[in-house]
């Protein structure tokens, strides 16, 4: 079994949706990704928290087998995000962002983490992503995320990172902003010509698309009666597919496609409750069962 290194954010989220709200709950890209991946493989996490970060959250991550010795605790407050969703749950409306200790975060990868099998770079400053790449031996697979803030403000630095990345994982709005076109097929062709071997586009309730060379693979989102909180679904999706790849070592096209379904499975569980609450009670047998449901959902016969 391979090991995944996750570098990203740990946050306190305050979220309001049409189905309820939660205040100062555990969140952040590194947390969602690491927790989802931990159902499949070993995870090392590098991030920063403030002196206000409670031990109970550390205990939860450790209970999932996540190695948090790379989690730096600094004087100050932990990163905070406040947002809301309307019934159009694909898009979060940010109401407030307090970077706090994240603003000056410069990850230091522990010596014991420096030879990962897979590496995920969360949507942090592209210069910081580059600095992380320089601290580790070349992993078998590097994936990264980004966001419009970096696409608009540090485009050149972002393209420089992408030359050293195997997979770019972004949502559809970010893909269009980065590629400068509304057509995702054209966008994918442009992005793939600049470095990444694969582009995975997260489309919320519409599923995900993976572009690789001339091949396109699509998966739907799992149909759910209620989606109380979509926060973190994209990072859980990434944790799911990367964790699965780490567990199998199968980087073939078939292996990647199967991994994407496992990512979709993890995203579907994440949105069933606020914060990490659904993943706290999740068992692997539930994951296997929903994977089979995904297979039945998408199965059809060839034309005879």
Q: What is the pLDDT of residues 251-269, one digit of tens each?
A: 999 999 999 999 999 999 9
- Which of 56, 54, 57 is closest to 32 using CA atoms? 57
Residue 303 confidence (pLDDT): 85
Cβ atoms of 237 and 264 closer than 8 Å: yes
How many domains are contained in the chain? 1
Q: Which CATH number belongs to the domain containing residue 7 in this structure?
A: 3.40.1190.20
Burial (0-12, 13-18, 19+ Cβ within 10 Å), 217: middle
Contact residues for 203 (Cβ-Cβ < 8 A; gap 6+): 90, 171, 172, 209, 221
**Residue that has been written with the tokens 């019934």 in this structure:** 87
pLDDT tens digit sequence for 10-58:
999 999 999 999 999 999 999 999 999 999 999 999 999 999 999 999 9
Considering the domain boundaries, does residue 91 fall inside one? yes
- Which of 38, 51, 19 is closest to 243 using CA atoms? 38
pTM of the model: 0.96
Cβ atoms of 17 and 58 closer than 8 Å: no
Considering the domain boundaries, does residue 239 fall inside one? yes
Query: What's the pLDDT band for 1 if we cut at 50, 70, 90?
Result: confident
Residue 80 confidence (pLDDT): 96
Cα torsion angle, 123, 127, 132, 136, sign? positive
Cβ atoms of 5 and 119 closer than 8 Å: yes
Residue 119 confidence (pLDDT): 98
pLDDT value at 304 more than 80: no
Residue 151 confidence (pLDDT): 93
Considering the domain boundaries, does residue 304 fall inside one? no
Query: What's the pLDDT band for 234 if we cut at 50, 70, 90?
Result: very high
Considering the domain boundaries, does residue 303 fall inside one? no
Length in residues, the chain: 304
Considering the domain boundaries, does residue 9 fall inside one? yes
Interval 57-61 mean pLDDT: 97
Residue 245 confidence (pLDDT): 98
Boundaries of domain holding 285? 3-298
pLDDT value at 218 more than 80: yes
- In degrees to the nearest 10, what's the CA dihedral of 118, 123, 128, 131? 10
pLDDT tens digit sequence for 74-103:
999 999 999 999 887 877 889 999 999 999
Tokens (6 digits) for 107: 């990850």
pLDDT tens digit sequence for 181-198:
999 999 999 999 999 999
Considering the domain boundaries, does residue 121 fall inside one? yes
Cβ neighbours, 10 Å, residue 263: 29
pLDDT value at 301 more than 90: no
Residue 13 confidence (pLDDT): 97
pLDDT value at 70 more than 90: yes
What SS3 class is residue 56? helix
- Residue 229 C-alpha from the chain's centroid: 16
What SS3 class is residue 83? strand
pLDDT value at 108 more than 90: yes
Considering the domain boundaries, does residue 214 fall inside one? yes
Considering the domain boundaries, does residue 59 fall inside one? yes
pLDDT value at 176 more than 90: yes
Of all residues in the chain, the percent with pLDDT exceeding 90 is 91
Burial (0-12, 13-18, 19+ Cβ within 10 Å), 231: buried
**Phi-psi region for residue 103, left (φ > 0), alpha (ψ -120 to 50) or beta?**
alpha
Interval 95-113 mean pLDDT: 94
* CA-based max dimension of the chain: 67
Question: Among the listed ranges 20-29, 82-91, 124-133, 164-173, which one has the minimum average pLDDT value?
Answer: 82-91
Separation of alpha carbons 292 and 296, rounded Å: 6
């Amino acid at each position: 079994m391979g090991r995944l290194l996750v570098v990203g954010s740990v946050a306190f989220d305050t979220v309001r949706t049409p189905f309820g709200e939660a205040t100062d709950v555990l969140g952040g890209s590194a947390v969602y990704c690491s927790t989802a991946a931990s159902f499949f493989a070993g995870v090392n996490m590098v991030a920063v928290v403030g002196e206000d970060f409670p031990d109970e959250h550390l205990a939860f991550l450790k209970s999932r087998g996540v190695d948090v010795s790379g989690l730096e605790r600094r004087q100050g407050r932990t990163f905070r995000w406040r947002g809301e969703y309307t019934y159009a749950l694909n898009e979060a409306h940010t109401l407030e962002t307090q970077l706090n200790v994240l603003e000056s975060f410069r990850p230091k990868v522990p010596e014991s983490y420096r030879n990962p099998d897979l590496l995920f770079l969360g949507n942090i400053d592209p210069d910081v992503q580059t600095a992380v790449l320089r601290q580790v031996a070349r992993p078998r697979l590097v994936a990264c995320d980004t966001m419009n803030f970096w696409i608009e403000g540090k485009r050149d630095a972002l393209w420089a990172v992408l030359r050293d990345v195997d997979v770019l994982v972004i949502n559809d709005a970010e893909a269009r902003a980065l590629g400068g076109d509304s057509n995702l097929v054209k966008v994918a062709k442009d992005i793939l010509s600049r470095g990444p071997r694969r582009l995975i586009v997260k489309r919320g309730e519409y599923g995900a698309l993976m572009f690789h060379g001339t091949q396109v693979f699509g998966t739907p989102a799992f149909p759910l009666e209620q989606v109380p909180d979509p926060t973190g679904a994209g990072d859980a999706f990434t944790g799911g597919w990367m964790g699965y790849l780490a567990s199998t070592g199968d980087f073939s096209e078939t292996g990647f496609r199967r991994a994407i379904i496992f990512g979709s499975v993890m995203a579907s569980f994440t949105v069933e409750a606020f914060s990490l609450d659904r993943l706290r009670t999740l068992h692997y047998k539930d994951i296997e069962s929903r994977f089979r449901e995904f297979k039945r959902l998408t199965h059809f016969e060839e034309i005879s």
